[in-house]
């Protein structure tokens, strides 16, 4: 995704910062970042979101777990 963005917009500076969702919400509100990629939907005034991908939710258990898959 980053390589594609850099290819299409070579004059735009992209810096990747590791933040959890709460930190991204705060950084967006404070104007420290221009966009964030989060898992949970944003319900913030003045912030809009767009779904990038839809992922399946999967439970993984070890084979020896009592609730293991059959």
29-48 pLDDT tens trace: 899 999 998 887 777 787 88
Q: Are residues 33 and 24 in contact, defined by beta-carbon separation less than 8 angstroms?
A: yes
Counting beta carbons within 10 angstroms of the beta carbon of residue 1, is it exposed (0 to 12), middle (13 to 18) or buried (19 or more)? exposed
Task: Give how far Cα 51 sits from Cα of 30, 34, 37, 39, 55, Å.
Answer: 23, 17, 10, 9, 11
Q: Containing domain of residue 67, as a range? A: 1-70
- pTM exceeding the 0.85 threshold for the entire prediction: no
- Domains in the chain: how many in total? 1
pLDDT above 90 (res 23): yes
The CA distance from 12 to 3, in Å, is 12
């Amino acid at each position: 995704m980053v390589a594609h963005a850099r290819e299409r917009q070579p004059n735009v500076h992209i810096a990747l910062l590791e933040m959890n969702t709460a930190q991204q919400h705060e950084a967006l509100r404070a104007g420290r970042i221009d966009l964030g990629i989060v898992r949970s939907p944003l319900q913030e005034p003045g912030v809009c979101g767009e779904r990038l991908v839809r992922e399946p939710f999967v439970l993984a258990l070890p084979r020896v777990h009592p609730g293991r898959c059959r």
